[in-house]
Amino acid sequence: MLAVRRSLLHKKECRWCGAELEAGQLFCRICGVNRFIRLQLWEMIGCGAFTGLSGLIIGSIILLGIPRIIVAPASQPSITVSSVIVGSAVTNTQPPTEKLTSTPTPKPSPTRFSPSLTPRPNNILQGHIVFTCYDDHDDELCLMNANGTGLTQLTNNSVQDFYASLSHDGKYIVFSRQISGSKHEIYRINVDGSTLKQLTDNNKENYAPTYSPDNTQIVFTSNQAGGKLQIWAMDSDGQNSHQLTSDGINEDPVWLPDGQHISFSSTRFDDTQIWIMRKDGSEFRKVTNVEGVSGRHSWSADGKILVFYAGKKKSRNIYTINIDGTNLRQLTNGGDDLAPSWSPYGGWITFTSYRDGNNEIYIMKDDGSSLLNLTQNASSEDYQPRWGP
C-alpha cells in the first residue's frame, strides 16, 4: 500500500477527471479532489468497485458539469470584551462622586514602526468611513467606502458640520452642527443624508457624539451645565440627557465594545490623558501616561487595545496601548497624524494626516504597515474620520 501512495504522488494526471497534475500536487485544480481522499475510498471498496464508481462520477461530470466548491468566508470577530471594572449601574441625573486613581509610573518609550505606502485595495476592506470634508465654504459631512471609493457629500449648508460617527447598525450618523459662533447642537441623519433630526437644544457647546454598541445611547461632550466641557449621555432620541463627569476638562468620549464602559480624554490630573469610567459615571481609571495625548481615540474590536494620538503640534503620531496601560507602540512616524479610528471588523485603522501638506484621510494596518491615502484633495481639508459598518 505504501508503494501505491508513492505512485500516486508521482502520477501525472488526476484519477478523477484526467487533468494533468504536477509531481507532488495534492489537489486537482479542475475538480478539487485530494488524491489521498480517493485513495481511502480505493482501500475501502476495492479496485473493481472503485473503478466502476470512477466511471460513474466522470460520466456525471461530463453530463452535468464540474461542481464549484464554495468556501464560506470567516465570520467577523465578536465585538465583546470582558468587564475590566466591577460595579453596578445607577440612573441619577446628577454626576456621581468620582473615585480617582493614578499610577505615577514613568512615561514609557514606545516601539516604533515605519509604514510603507501600498497600492489601493479593491474589495478587501469592509464598512464605511464618515469624515469632515471642506467644500470651499465650510465643513460638511462626507461618506465613502472603506477602500476610498464611492465618496458622497451628505450635507450642504452654510454652517459647520463635523465630529460625525456612524451607528453600529450602519443606519444613522450623529454629528455636531454649528448654530452660531461656538454654539453647536447634536443632530442625526440617515446614512444617505436624509431625515435630519435635532437631538440637543441647549444653545451651548455640544460635540463629539458616539453611539453605544447597542445604539440605544449617545455620549458626547458638552458645557450645557455651565463651566468646563464635560461628558454627557442621552438616549438615542435625545431624551434623558445627564452629566457623567465634573472634575477637570473632559472631552471626546468613546464607548468600549462591552457597552459598559466609556473612555475619554481628561485633564483631571493636569496633563491630558485617556481615562475609562463605567457608563454611569463611576469608577475612573487612567489608561495612558504619555506626553501630549489629545482627544479622539478608538478601541480594537475585542476592547483590549486603545489607539490614540499624541505629541507636539505638527509632529503628532498614532499609538496603541493595552487597556491595562502596557505595551505602548508607535504606529506612525512623521506627517502629523491625528484622530485614529479602528475598523469594527479589525485589522485596519483610519486617521487624519498632514503628510501631503493638508488634511487627508489615510488607512493603515493596525501594526502600522500598508499605509494608504484615501482622499487626495489638494485644495480641501478632510479630517475626523470614523470607521463604521
For the chain, what are the domain ranges? 2-64, 111-388
Residue 136: its pLDDT value, please? 86
User: Which has the minimum average pLDDT: 20-29, 76-85, 153-162, 326-335?
Assistant: 76-85
Describe the crossing of helices 2-9 and 35-45 by its angle, rounded to 10 degrees: 150
Which residue in 345, 344, 346, 342 sits closest to 319, CA to CA? 342
Residue 61: its pLDDT value, please? 38
Residue 258: its pLDDT value, please? 98
Residue 118: its pLDDT value, please? 46
- Long-range contact list for 291-296, CB < 8 A, 24+ apart? 291/107, 292/316, 293/265, 294/265, 294/338, 295/208, 295/251, 295/252, 295/265, 295/339, 296/208, 296/252, 296/254, 296/338, 296/339, 296/340, 296/341, 296/384
Q: Is 11 a residue whose pLDDT tops 90?
A: no
Q: Is 209 a residue whose pLDDT tops 60?
A: yes
CA distance 153 to 200: 24
Instruction: State CA 275 to chain mean position distance.
Output: 19
Residue 75: its pLDDT value, please? 37
CA distance 363 to 246: 35
Residue 20: its pLDDT value, please? 60
Mean model confidence pLDDT for the chain: 79
Residues forming a β-bridge with 319 = 308, 330
Q: Is 6 a residue whose pLDDT tops 90?
A: no
Q: Is 153 a residue whose pLDDT tops 70?
A: yes
Residue 376: its pLDDT value, please? 87
Residues 297 and 307: beta-carbon distance below 8 Å: yes
Is CATH 2.60.200.20 the classification given to domain 111-388?
A: no
C-alpha cell at 280: 454611569
Residue 80: its pLDDT value, please? 32
Q: What is the pLDDT of residues 357-386, one digit of tens each?
A: 889 999 999 999 999 999 988 767 899 999
What integer is the mean pLDDT of 163-176? 98
Q: What is the pLDDT of residues 72-97, one digit of tens each?
A: 333 333 333 333 332 223 333 444 44
Q: What is the pLDDT of residues 288-338, one digit of tens each?
A: 999 999 999 999 999 999 999 999 999 999 999 999 999 999 999 989 999
C-alpha cell at 237: 432620541
Residue 29: its pLDDT value, please? 53
Q: What is the pLDDT of residues 48-61, one digit of tens each?
A: 433 444 444 444 43
Rg from Cα positions in the chain: 27
What is the SS3 assignment for 190?
strand
